[in-house]
């Protein structure tokens, strides 16, 4: 029942350190199951999605030791079951990476259908197509996916649609299969490259990650390793947009600027100044915002996970902006919340038309999903007055220490506990 209370209109200035990538961590942690040794994983973000994945592995018998605030050691030699705990796994999308990891190591996996944010159907048909090509059979019953195989053998897999999850899951299943697996029409996101690098550090032979053709040469043994997760591209982009929304001057540190190019390009088109350094970007804005058209695309296009945040920013840009959401069917649920703050947005299917207004006004709003919650933060920071954001558990699925980081930049934000009110039953 906690909420964020934000007094808007304060200019963000200073430095912010970006945490490890959520979308990489939720795949790399299950990937440790494939190792025959102990894996030390560093730069892990302290967010609820990651803690859920860690708890799942522990419940399945893995020994996990916390090393400092952002590193863990995983010994998967004690994993005693191939069935992921339903209650823990059903709330997060990343739980489906347990399918590929368990299938690759033990040739059997039973995992719930993916959860996470509700903005469209999350089909796993391409995942299952890949598993079947490697020789696995599967069944779906009661919301659980059961995949198994006597032996996994490398094969060619052509993905009918570009799918990040399917690309990574097939990599996990194929890395210890016999022979060579080729994934065509593979996704190219940075966290796919990060997963490949992690597996290669254990002795795997994966080539082509980051291109649309990935080759995996199967091996029978993977050693333990020490590996540091890449910075979070979407967290970095969110702070970049927040700096722009508040006419701020923020140095976003611990980033890979190349991963941010599509975001930086659109911000520059809007009149925001971006300076790139080796592992940081500086975001400054002094004038008004220009209108801009956005179409979300698979990497290296503009990321769908940044679409709500950029919409909040465009709400106060001069002129008419158009957003074309080409990845998810139902990603505009946050629009009604922005309209409560005075935004003028109309939605038609996968298109949103934004008529820029002079300013946004504070209002009580809610986070309808993770990135929608980030959009509410951006809007609240720029708005006049005090905004209250409810359902902040969605935000904390993907943003580490968001209150502390924003406060360090000069924001007036606090987390407030709201006691639950019991309602008497009618007789």
Q: Give 336: exposed, middle or buried? Use CB within 10 Å, 0-12, 13-18, 19+.
A: middle
For 379, the token pair is 């809007």
Q: 311, 267 in Cβ contact below 8 A?
A: no
For 139, the token pair is 């069944």
117 a catalytic residue: yes
Q: Which of 371, 287, 383 is nearest to 333 (CA)?
A: 371
**Residue 193: half-sphere exposure toward Cβ, Cα within 13 Å:** 12
Tokens 């935004």 -> residue? 343
d(CA 343, CA 3): 22
- Greatest Cα pair distance, the chain, in angstroms, is 68
Question: Under DSSP, is residue 162 helix (H, G, I), strand (E, B) or coil?
Answer: coil
Give backbone dihedrals phi and psi of 133, rounded to 5 degrees, phi first.
-65, -30
Residue 342, phi-psi category: left (phi > 0), alpha (psi -120 to 50), beta (remainder): left
- 363-368 long-range contacts (CB < 8 A, ≥24 apart) are 363/387, 364/340, 364/388, 364/390, 365/337, 365/338, 365/340, 365/341, 365/389, 365/390, 366/337, 366/390, 366/391, 367/391, 367/392, 367/394, 367/395, 368/333, 368/334, 368/337, 368/394
Residue of 39, 117, 292, 425 marked catalytic: 117
Question: Under DSSP, is residue 363 helix (H, G, I), strand (E, B) or coil?
Answer: coil
For 418, the token pair is 């709201």
For residue 405, give the H/E element and its range: helix 402-408
Enumerate the active-site residues. Answer: 117
């Amino acid at each position: 029942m906690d909420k964020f209370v934000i007094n808007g209109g304060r200019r963000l200035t200073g430095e912010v350190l970006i945490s490890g990538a959520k979308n990489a961590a939720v795949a790399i942690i299950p990937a440790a199951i494939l190792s025959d040794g102990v894996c030390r994983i560093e730069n892990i973000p302290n967010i609820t999605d990651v803690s859920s994945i860690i708890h799942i592995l522990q419940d399945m018998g893995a020994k996990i030791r916390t090393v400092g605030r952002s590193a863990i050691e995983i010994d998967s030699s004690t994993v005693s079951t191939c069935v992921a705990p339903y209650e823990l796994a059903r709330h997060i999308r990343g739980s489906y990476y347990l399918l590929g990891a368990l299938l690759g190591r033990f040739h059997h996996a039973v995992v719930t259908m993916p959860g996470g944010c509700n903005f469209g159907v999350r089909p796993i048909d391409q995942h299952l197509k890949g598993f079947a090509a490697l020789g696995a059979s599967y069944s779906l019953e009661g919301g659980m996916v059961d995949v198994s195989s006597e032996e996994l053998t490398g094969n060619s897999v052509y993905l009918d649609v570009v799918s990040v999850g399917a690309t990574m899951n097939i990599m996990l299943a194929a890395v210890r299969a016999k022979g060579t697996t080729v994934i065509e029409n593979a996704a190219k996101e940075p966290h796919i490259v990060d997963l490949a690098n992690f597996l290669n550090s254990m002795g795997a032979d994966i080539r082509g990650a980051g291109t649309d053709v990935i080759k995996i040469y199967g091996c029978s043994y993977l050693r333990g390793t020490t590996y540091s997760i890449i910075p979070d591209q979407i967290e970095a982009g969110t702070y970049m947009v927040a700096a722009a929304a508040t006419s701020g001057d923020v140095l976003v540190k611990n980033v890979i600027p190349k991963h941010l190019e599509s975001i930086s390009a659109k911000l520059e088109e809007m009149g925001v100044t971006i300076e790139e350094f080796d592992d940081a970007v500086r975001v400054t804005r002094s004038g008004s915002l220009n209108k801009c058209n956005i179409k979300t695309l698979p990497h290296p296009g503009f990321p769908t996970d940044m679409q709500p945040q950029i919409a909040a920013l465009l709400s106060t840009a001069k002129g008419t902006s158009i957003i074309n959401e080409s990845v998810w069917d139902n990603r505009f649920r946050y629009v009604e919340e922005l309209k409560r703050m005075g935004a003028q947005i109309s939605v038609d299917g996968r298109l949103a038309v934004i008529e820029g207004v002079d300013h946004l006004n504070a209002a009580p709003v809610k986070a309808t999903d993770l990135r929608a919650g980030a959009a509410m933060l951006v809007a609240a920071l720029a708005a006049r007055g005090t905004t209250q954001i409810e359902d902040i558990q969605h935000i904390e699925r993907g943003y580490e220490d968001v209150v502390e980081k924003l406060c360090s930049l000069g924001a007036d934000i606090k987390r407030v506990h709201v006691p639950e009110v019991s309602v008497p039953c009618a007789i």
